Amino acid sequence: MTGPSANTPTSITIRRPDDWHLHFRDGETMQAVVRHTARQFARAIVMPNLTPPVTTTALAGAYRDRIMAAVPEGIAFTPLMTAYLTDTSDADDLAQGHRDGVLTAAKLYPAGATTNSDSGVTDIAHIMPVLERMAEIGMPLCVHGEVTESHIDIFDREAEFIERILEPLVARLPDLKVIFEHITTAQAVDFVDRAGANIAATITPQHLHINRNDMLVGGMRPHNYCLPVAKREEHRLVLRKAATSGSAKYFLGTDSAPHHRHDKESACGCAGIFNAPFALESYLAVFEEEGAIEHFESFASNNGPRFYGLPMNEDRVTLERAPVEVPAEIDGGVAEIVPFHAGQTLSWRFCGSA
């Protein structure tokens, strides 16, 4: 850190971060968005919820090649692939993909929980043999933690998932590495804090910046709609404390999820917030507001690789204090995408490699 004093730095240099939860899509949209993530991050855990989903090692390998072909020349970026679990996932195929370095993790989408999750798992009992195998070989499980029954209120779905699915799963498979992704509630923070070292969580920038009022007051704001949906202010405040606490159990996962403007501004708008272009600027604002800039590097760059058992990045990136205007829209290939913080001015600027 350099600047007038440790409390008011004018620039910050940290180990290059990784994004531990990301959506790239495919085709033209992917071609347009990969550059934004590759500019800031060395690696990203790539979500497999394409149509059709990335359910096997072979599909993940082919998807990885398409992503690599979209990385701009001169940028070093490594996509870390995940397999989408279904009721009929093949444990041998996943284990082999993990052993061969094609699959970093597998992803549990409860069927119907979110975008392109219809082929997800209908009952966790169906994948218990796969999860047992993953625990045995040390393959991490990424979890979208929401129950899906229609009678459960959407604001309660994460808390219900913890009680009914996650607690029993962790008790049954105490060695399974679980990443509780994009957590949104005080109950999730409490669960993660109490759990063993094999349980961690990612936190998105949007859940640190917005609460449910930002989605619903003064008109519906589809660009602030994502899943799990933003909760009450009291939850946001707990998430901010967790992310900035210095605890090794929390790390950066943007859940950047590009949807074109017309798919968001629609009678049935898609869930997802596209935050990749200004992700680090957005997170750093939170750490500064919380007076915890000294914990930014562990959250962004150290805790993730440590949990996944992957090497740390060696290079460094710098952000400097300077106003950055977030554009109203960004090229999304087939159509434009409205980014998180559109039209706002952020106070840190990403400068790239130190």
Does 257 engage in binding with ligand DOR (CB under 6 A)? yes
Residue 28 CA to its chain's centroid (Å):
22
Which of 203, 319 has the CB closer to ligand DOR?
203
* Minimum CB–partner distance for residue 242 and ligand DOR (Å): 19
User: Which of 115, 344 has the CB closer to ligand DOR?
Assistant: 115
Q: Are 267 and 248 in contact (CB under 8 A)?
A: no
Considering beta carbons, is residue 9 or 272 the nearer one to Zn ion? 272
Given 54, 83, 203, 226, the residue binding ligand DOR (CB under 6 A): 226
Q: Which one of 19, 118, 255, 315 is the catalytic residue?
A: 255
Interaction between residue 82 and ligand DOR (CB under 6 A): no
Handedness of CA 94, 98, 102, 108 (dihedral sign): positive
- Residue 49 binds ligand DOR (CB under 6 A): yes
- Out of 1, 71, 237, 271, the residue judged to bind ligand DOR by CB under 6 A: 271
x-marked contacts with ligand DOR along 98-137 as a string, rule CB under 6 A: ----------------xx----------------------
C-beta separation of 34 from 276 below 8 A: no
Alpha-carbon span 327 to 351, nearest angstrom: 18
- Rounded CA-CA distance 191/279 in Å is 26
Strand partners, 336: 331
Both structure tokens of 232: 């009450």
**Minimum distance, C-beta of residue 118 to ligand DOR, in the bound complex (Å):** 12
Q: Which is nearer to Zn ion, 158 or 255 (CB)?
A: 255
Distance CA 252, CA 300 (A): 5
Binding map of ligand DOR across residues 10-29, x = CB under 6 A, - = no contact: -------------x------
255 is known as an active-site residue = yes
| DSSP alpha helix (H) spans, the chain | 27-40, 57-70, 91-99, 128-137, 157-161, 167-172, 186-194, 205-209, 213-216, 233-243, 261-264, 279-289, 296-297, 303-308
The nearest distance, CB 54 to ligand DOR, in angstroms, is: 12
Packing angle between helix 57-70 and helix 91-99, nearest 10 degrees?
A: 40
Cα 201 to Cα 222, 234, 251, distances in angstroms = 25, 18, 7
Binds ligand DOR (CB under 6 A): choice among 227, 239, 279, 285:
227
- Between 97 and 253, name the residue whose CB sits nearer to ligand DOR: 253
Q: Which does 177 bind (CB under 5 to 8 A by kind): ligand DOR, Zn ion, none?
A: none
- Crossing angle for the helix pair 27-40 and 57-70, nearest 10 degrees? 70
Instruction: Identify which of residues 57 and 206 has a Cβ nearer to Zn ion in the complex.
Output: 206
The entry of Zn ion, ligand DOR, none that residue 354 binds, CB within 5 to 8 Å by partner kind: none
Give the whole-angstrom CA distance, residue 330 versus residue 323.
18
> Choosing among ligand DOR, Zn ion, none, which partner's interface includes residue 97 (Cβ < 5 to 8 Å by kind)?
none
- Residue of 134, 190, 198, 122 lying closest to 158 (CA atoms): 190
Task: Return d(Cα 309, Cα 262) in angstroms, integer.
Answer: 40
CB of 284 to ligand DOR, least distance (A): 22
Residues near Zn ion (CB under 5 A): 255
* Residue 255 CB, nearest approach to Zn ion (Å): 4
Residues that bind ligand DOR (CB under 6 A): 23, 49, 114-115, 144, 226-227, 257, 271-272
Active site residues: 255
